Amino acid sequence: MRLLIAALVLLLAGCSAPSPRPTPAPAPPGRRVVGYFTDWGIYGRDFQVKDLDTDGAATELTHLVYAFGKVDGGRCAPADAWADYQKPIPAEHSVDGVADPADAPLRGNFGQLRKLKAKHPGLRVIWSFGGWTGSAGFTDAARDPAAFAASCRTLVDDPRWSGVFDGIDLDWEYPNACGEQCDASGPDALPRLLGAVRSALGPRAVLSAAVPADVGKLDRADYRAAAGPVDWLGAMTYDYFGTGADGGDDSIDRHRTEPHSALTTYPGIPRTEATSSATVDKLLALGVPAGKVLLGIGFYGRGWTGVTASDPGGSASGPADGRYEKGVEDYEVLAERCPPTGVAGGTAIAHCGTQWWSYDTPGTIKTKMAYARSKALGGAFAWELSGDTPGSDLLTAVVDGLAGPS
């Protein structure tokens, strides 16, 4: 789909080939550029592993996180076997242009990830388990961390896709707190799980964990101890506000416009701690090393309809329409359909007609990356890559921003 759009653009431009995109500056040593690829993206979104190659993302990333595996009965397990390793990939969606034979021992996204790594040998790929709707099983896992860790290693080392994954990411939403489900495993549950996984995988494997942006939730688990065995903790510094259409946390107000991922406070913000800088400051105050904190960037916007005010805090009748869910839309769509009309708290806001959206742009991302540099953070991650433009404009801004002024 993306290749077809690109071809049409060239045709309308008189069929003249564009100048090659400049090679982005690499992230400074030790700074990580991490992006999530979702298994469900290959369906309605038609975002394939091949797009990571053709869009240039595979060149810019240091790590790719494949989301999600599930935690079933306290054990690591695939969540979508068809997408993961069974679906035959046709030639037009294949990284090397070769279709999967029907009897190929490895097909699906895992087969394509193997091809992507062969083409980009510096890229490390890790498998994430959990997520907002998939975190209930962590409570069982916390009862027997060693068994959980052993199951994860067995799964990652499965002979069918051995060598595809360089490690594991745990996305528990949320340990000893409430997300879609509530957990009461205790503040040491996450550190014990991560310690067991590190022991099972060994010191050379990549191990990471997603952590909440809500500073109250950060008090519920021992994130200083959790930082010990991991390469990084990814702070989910987005979704502070939204329309509530997706069943998110109870702080969301479906009838009041607010930026969902402000870097700093702005006039009228309902909760002064609902900013990326407040989350980072909290993690550092808890004793998490700055070099192990990654700043999260959403490659999407959240929006309302029935809005007359351009500034944040305006009344709304409800969530705006999105292609896949109410109140949410990808950056690549919003940049054209509802371009920014202002900035609030270091993120873009956009009032177009009766709709109001907030999202990050290349410009606001560079501001956030300058902040990450000022705090000596370990880098940044993107949730998730399908929301970017075909030219990876947002991801390029992450890389260039982390590199600093040219």
Active site residues: 173
Phi, psi of 355 (to 5 degrees): -100, 150
Torsion sign (Cα): 352, 368, 40, 213:
negative
Q: For the chain, give me the number of helices (H) and strands (E)?
A: 14, 15
Helices 362-374 and 276-285 meet at what angle, rounded to 10? Answer: 20
Distance of alpha carbon 291 from alpha carbon 224, whole angstroms: 13
| Residues 6 or more apart in contact with residue 330 via CB below 8 angstroms | 299, 300, 301, 323, 386, 387, 388
- Which 8-state DSSP code applies to residue 90? P
Burial of 186 (0-12, 13-18, 19+ CB in 10 A): middle
Instruction: Determine the angle formed by the axes of helices 145-156 and 189-201, rounding to 10 degrees.
Output: 40
Read off φ and ψ for residue 270, nearest 5 degrees.
Answer: -65, -30
Does 384 sit behind a cis peptide bond, omega within 30 degrees of 0 on the bond before it?
yes
